[in-house]
Structure 1
Amino acid sequence: MKLEIKENSLGSRLDKVLADLTVLSRSQANEEIKRGTVLVNGQPKKAKYAVQLGDVISYQVPEVEELDYVAEDLPLAIIYEDEDLAVVNKPQGMVVHPSAGHTSGTLVNALLYHIKNLSSINGVVRPGIVHRIDKDTSGLLMIAKNDSAHQALAAELKDKKSHRQYLALVHGNLPNDRGVIDAPIGRSDKDRKKQAVTAKGKEAISRFQVLERFGDYSLVSVVLETGRTHQIRVHMAYIGHPVAGDPLYGPRKTLKGQGQFLHAQTLGFTHPKTGELLTFEAELPEIFQETLEKLRKSQKNS
């Protein structure tokens, strides 16, 4: 495939231009450049090459790895289930759906084993998945068992009518007991693996309340009005209080754990068939509870 450089891309790095103007990610662009499959005016260039007006870039789209979706007998906490939907408590460390590099051990693999029928709206890649949480975030997810339920639940999410409340242990002592973070989120220009607060991003609103203070750390409740990728992690880092244990947005020196201390504790929504308002809660993971107890003890002894 080919593309010709226009004025708005002048002087940008070759790898960034490829990531911005094609389906390739920044890492994929770098890999293809290293392999020599990316040519500028018929010649290979390095990733840092500054593109010029009229440059013709030819590239190849890497072949998509075929994924095998297999039902796996994995432990799965099903909090609620009926003929239309289910609510599950995803453990920390479990990826929600298969992808290149994570073809087994995911929530979808477990769902295929434990739940007979799943909606097909997201195809074979994400059957039943209405919304996601990160691999190292624990907590509640709604699962659709048929397409009509999926459409209704997804519409409620889009209309900001679902209730999603998280508990997060964050760095520092927040100056206010409660607040609203209204800052748009999009892909970071500096690191394609990250999200960031950016003027080019989509609307993102998080409401927080401080529940406990431990000096160097605070326990906060966060309610999502929108559902952007990494929203709480990005927003808390943006106001200077990143989630403890967050390897992507937080400091290296932090509390020992298994990733970020972030838990989807409460989930509320309207049942797509009965119209009943359902609300569910999930206990904190053991390591989260133990860490809080240690902080409380150290606070008393200080």
Structure 2
Amino acid sequence: MVLDGKNKSYVTTFILLGFSEYPQLQVPLFLAFLTIYTVTLVGTLGIIAVIRINPKVHTPMYFFLCHLSFLDICYSSVFTPKLLEILVVEARSITFTGCMVQFFFICTFVITEMFMLAVMAYDRFVAVCNPLLYTVAMSPKLCAFLVAGSYTWGGICSLTLTYSLVELSFCGSNILNHFGCEYSAILSLSCSDTHFSQMACLIISIFNETSSLLIILASYIFIVVTVIRMPSPSGLHKAFSTCASHLTAITIFHGTILLLYCVPNSKSSWLLVKVATVFFTVMIPMMNPLIYSLRNKDVKETFRKLIITKQLSHSI
């Protein structure tokens, strides 16, 4: 704490409560989250490696999947290490600056992933509805532009929301009822008017969620119409299998976001907020590699070849 000329104390450090209300679960939670985080790193890095190794998957779809895997690593790594730390150490503090930096990066990566999923829906629309023009329509230049646009927009939105938090005053309790710097948890500690921050968050959240979902919905409406018109059963199967993994990832990602939006702002709901945030920042990054690798023939085939090659090299 520091004091200004009006003898008013200002928060310079936050204390993260995490799951301290359940002391008997600290070690089991640590082991569980450490295992999940390890699987996430191995799975996402594995997919990136497979995409880089196999020339067969050097296509726009896998280019976007590579960036999706990168984003999973990034936003999982923003929250999870700190979560693991506060589960095993008594000092559960984070500086105000560290908190703002953590919030900026988690917000950037989440918004970027939101639009990356929308970009992937557009990619599936082009692949299914215009298969003969797919490589021409989804040119490397366009793919790079869509990815760069997603990252840039995520950074702009995150910078705006972070600025709205930095401008607030924190002069009361410094106990943050969360395991990380989550937006509503930070706002609840402010002793100044939070109207601008709340409005900025509401406008940005509604715009991003609505626009990304509209792109996804429009893409899949055209996909469904095209698939229905396909006379060949094999064509139907191929189209649905192509989109199944992406639809699963979208449902889990946006379903969790909407759950967080719908949680009422009350003390009794903080546990639900923390559990939903754990699922969002720890579980989803682990699930995406599993979703895409288990349902993707090219990825499974490459993994199989790598394992066989490794076994043969050991046996020689």
Q: Using structure 2 for the length normalisation, give the TM-score.
A: 0.25
Greater relative contact order (Cα < 8 A, sep 6+)? 2
Between Structure 1 and Structure 2, which shows a larger proportion of helix residues?
A: 2
Q: Using structure 1 for the length normalisation, give the TM-score.
A: 0.26
Between Structure 1 and Structure 2, which shows a larger proportion of strand residues?
A: 1
